[in-house]
Structure 1
Amino acid sequence: MGRDNQARDRQLRRRSLKQARRASYARILIVTEGSKTEPLYLEEIRSTYQLHSANVEVQPGRLGTAPIQVVRYAQQLFEDGDLRRGIRPRSFDQVYVVFDRDDHKSYFDALNLADSLDGKLHNDERQQVSFKAIASIPCFELWLLLHFEEIRAPIHRNEVMDRLQIHVPDYEKGKVGVFSMTRNRLPDATERAASLARQSNAYTDPAPYTALHDLVALLCALRT
């Protein structure tokens, strides 16, 4: 066996050991539509609260950015794993798919597919797996904007960005450090998002909505 193959095998073994040394709380897989913005934000939460990397796995979708592709990739990644990324098949208790409404034609199909998978998959411990869509109408940045102001009426994603940049002038997609920048306003954002969720849901487009407060609250509750 060549040196390259030996090195690769050692790396895969180390990743498998890391998975085995997981913490005692639930194993969570998060698959995002975005390749930078959402993963960076969620990884920053994981790092800030020192969540075990074998328990909280954040991956961008790799089949495309359409919501239905994000959900399908999450199902594929859960069922088949990805040893190159240290992910064993069926090694999670909860799966979350993060995507936006935007103008995606497959948005509602993605919601329906996620709903159909909830409780239907089984992990490596033969337990039913929670499979949830974390949708935002119109976009992820609505969650960030809620840290600074109340939003009640339907709003286009361009206006969301414009208003967010009033509060965070240098904000752009893929910006690093967004969680630490907004962390002190998290209670306000959570209250506003929860208020929206009492009036609307992921299916009531174009009413503004985001479920990110639920996912962020879950991750924050796991802090060590």
Structure 2
Amino acid sequence: MAGGPRGRGTRRIRPQRQLAKRILVVTEGTETEPQYVERLGGFLRSKGATAIVKKVGVGTDPLKVVRKCVEIRDRAQGDAAFDICVCLVDVDQHATLPAACKLAKQESILLLISNLKFEVWLRWHAEDKRSALTTTQLDHRVEQLNLASGKTLLPRFPIDRVYAACDTARKADPGMAACRMGPGPSSAMPLLVDLLKPS
């Protein structure tokens, strides 16, 4: 009979299953940003990374957001531990932003800043325009473009245009980096997209 007994001495080695990276995303905003990150994760559907979004009710203070992120990270144990921690904050007129950047660097947290605010990033899903707008003008433009109503993303938000938004953001801020405030307008959100997209 050709060949030896089946399975003897020829044990197949199964490839080790890579566990998905757990990415903690702590947001300053309690509505728009969490909605966006959840949709982004659903659109990208990466098997290599999972975003766990935490809304923190600490007001619009970047330093408090980073501190809360440290607290959540340090409480997570075992399989619930996080591989990467990210905070999403706006510039607005935050006096604590430099201190937030300093703490984030000390704690190895990626602090991603949108200047003037997160709606800049939303706008770039619909148009490649980098004109500086006031906060009120920006809110109005986001509504005009049918991206959001108030703080709620609309059902037809063009999440599939995320890579176009990344291109615009990188043109607006070629030196994009975590823990750094870019020019107005700018957003470091492409760094989160890079973490979540399938490899």
Match of 2:186 in 1: 209
**2:111 maps to amino acid:** A
Relative contact order (C-alpha < 8 Å, sep 6+): which is higher? Answer: 2
Code of the residue aligned with 1:110 in structure 2: it is A
Gaps of 5+ in 2: 1-16
Aligned residue-pair number: 180
Deviation at residue 166 of structure 1 after TM alignment: 1.9
Note the C-alpha offset of 1:189: 0.9
Larger radius of gyration: 2
Alignment partner of 1:99 is 2:89: yes
Aligned residue for 1:198, secondary structure, equals coil
Following superposition, the deviation at residue 88 of structure 1 comes to 6.0
Identity %: 27
Alignment of 1:161-172 (within 5 A): 161-168=139-146, 171-172=149-150
Change (3 A) 1:100 1:76: same
TM-score, normalising length: structure 1:
0.69
Q: After TM superposition, give the deviation of residue 155 of structure 1 in Å.
A: 2.7
Q: What's the offset of the Cα at 1:56?
A: 2.4
Unaligned runs of 5+ in 1: 1-21, 82-86, 119-130
Describe how 1:38-57 pairs up with structure 2 within 5 A: 38-50=33-45, 55-57=50-52
SS at match of 2:38: helix
Is contact 2:30–2:55 with CA below 8 Å preserved after alignment? Answer: yes
- Give the SS at the match of 2:114: strand
Specify whether residues 214 and 200 from structure 1 end up closer, same or farther in structure 2 by C-alpha distance, changes over 3 A only. Answer: closer
Indicate which of 147, 152, 170 corresponds to 1:194: 170
Separation of aligned partners in 1, 2:175 and 2:45: 34
CA contact (8 A) 1:45 1:220 kept: no
Aligned residue number for residue 144 of structure 1? 122
Counterpart in the other structure of 1:182: 158
Q: Secondary structure at the match of 1:181?
A: coil
**CA distance in structure 1 between the aligned counterparts of 2:154 and 2:147, rounded to whole angstroms:** 14
CA RMSD of aligned residues (A): 2.7
Distance 2:153 2:159 in 1: 15
Counterpart position of 1:67: 62
Deviation digits for residues 66-87 of structure 1, max 9, x if unmatched?
Answer: 1111000000110123xxxxx7
Q: AA paired with 1:168?
A: N
Q: TM-score, normalised by structure 2?
A: 0.77
Flag the structure with higher strand content: 2
